[in-house]
Structure 1
């Protein structure tokens, strides 16, 4: 369930989500799909940190009709917001929950023979051919049926006859790397496995798959990270609009003499007299400790009034230090908000310093921030 967020005056930072930018990204993705391919939306993990109810409602207004979540609990919350949407549960059918799925009109993505057996048994008992997707593992080696087992299951009318297979799904393991040979292997495997079922819709493309070209699009795409401004493909520019801006309050501006160390562990030493802005955000707010800096390696950065502000020293639980030596004192001052992620600080850029991916940044943000919805047009430096 959503937790209340503090007022702006009482929060160390604020998180702005631009729902119109999410809708614009969905339109961009839709326009990149071949004719006849539906653009769904993957809104798991609280819509990648942007707010499940708010984001799903805006996407529905834009024309999205099919949504994918990970967990049944997420699906139930989503159903409260969108009573008529098609909702798939990617993590499958949890034991003993078929009646709950059916009552809420949720579609499990059946990932194993035991799940198929349980859904089939429930449908047989209820005398209702309820819809469900079936997941084929084409090379991820995570969830799903291997192609040989999928063929056996589909040939067994006792297993599949009582319900309606409404979608055949697989998932790309290396889609972010367009030239990776596994992409073509998975595509060919998926085509071969599903060739005998031309009337059942199919889905292979996640965000990366949308940009791999029409061969990967099939009947429905299910983008996630790209909706939220993330970078789907490793090479090239990111065509998506940013949708989130995180700003943290400057708690103090202080001078540090040359040769003094900064922060826990004394891992970074001032090479000149420095001015540091101590801001109210740390790893408890999703800003990963690995993105801190030391004498041996640079770290991430913030942004204020056209100035790039390098992180200095380790990121601690509740705060971090930013170098504002070259920023006018009238700009970097107590109470001013500094951008830590947003139009000038991409999550994919921060992820490089933290040795992770932008997914982890987006889904981990905002537990203590004041949350608001609107355009990302906050004037820089406004206190």
Structure 2
């Protein structure tokens, strides 16, 4: 006979098998244990929530930043190359030939080319009463009229230099230069190279040419009157997308045929690409910190579950005396641990999603949160809860009814 039996005058009757708890019963029992100690449960789930929120936020902000930078790179283009003077064989600063710009424009595939040249010794100040040594890091540069079109920039206020203004004391300020000078609109005057110039325009920020943001741009002819020698210091070139590599290979030799090794060629969009790699490295670091926070939260859940087993010994003994098996006791506490971690994980996912959404809205970037970050956060919480509750559940299951009731 497979089950226990009792005997009376009518014979032997088998006892019914122990009842099996359904999944809904286990979840109900787990939630009941959490509701009995809400503050303790909330504090335990908080550790899981912080860890999951940190991980989801890192992945979300990383995805948002990557999407935003890729959108910027796509909008600004990767077909802009710059040529700047390097150093001579003896370590002195080299210079670019004055005729370099028209020479570059003859390269097959080049669609536009422009340049700026630093005006030596010239400074720009808000008034003539400011010490000339206080430059605020603003450079005075001669600019060709097609510079803004080549860079794909925009004027925030006023207008750019034109054939009517390039020969006169008119200046266009970069975004940073205007902020440092306290100029918020065109029409104001600044003291430049010992004379007053009228601000005819203020530029928006140029991501591919940050040096222009910190510059005061005057006409090429006007700069010549200020002892500018006509040699460009930076040449900006745009070409067709399929011609970037071929133009790069001949740009240095075209700019300075006699000493091409003294020309530094670069692609500004590579700096944005490098930002993507740097963000990925930092994301890995912060993801590791989030994992540590999640581990600490799991330890807290395990500690709380061990305390719960000690406090509920009589409940365990009573259930065992009423026929609950070791497996049922083990599943009850394991379910309670997983439920606690799952609630914390869901709260963490929502918090991380809100953080990513806030960051994307603040930067004006699209929300590009990977779905695996959300599902991964919930799965990580479940796994941590299962691992944290395994030992307390086994400890509860090992208690016999007599041991539990006698304590």
Q: So what's the TM-score if we normalise by structure 2? A: 0.19
Q: Which has the larger helix fraction?
A: 2
Q: Which has the larger strand fraction?
A: 1
Structure exhibiting the larger radius of gyration computed from Cα positions: 2
Q: So what's the TM-score if we normalise by structure 1? A: 0.20
Q: Which has the higher contact order (CA 8 A, sep 6+)?
A: 2
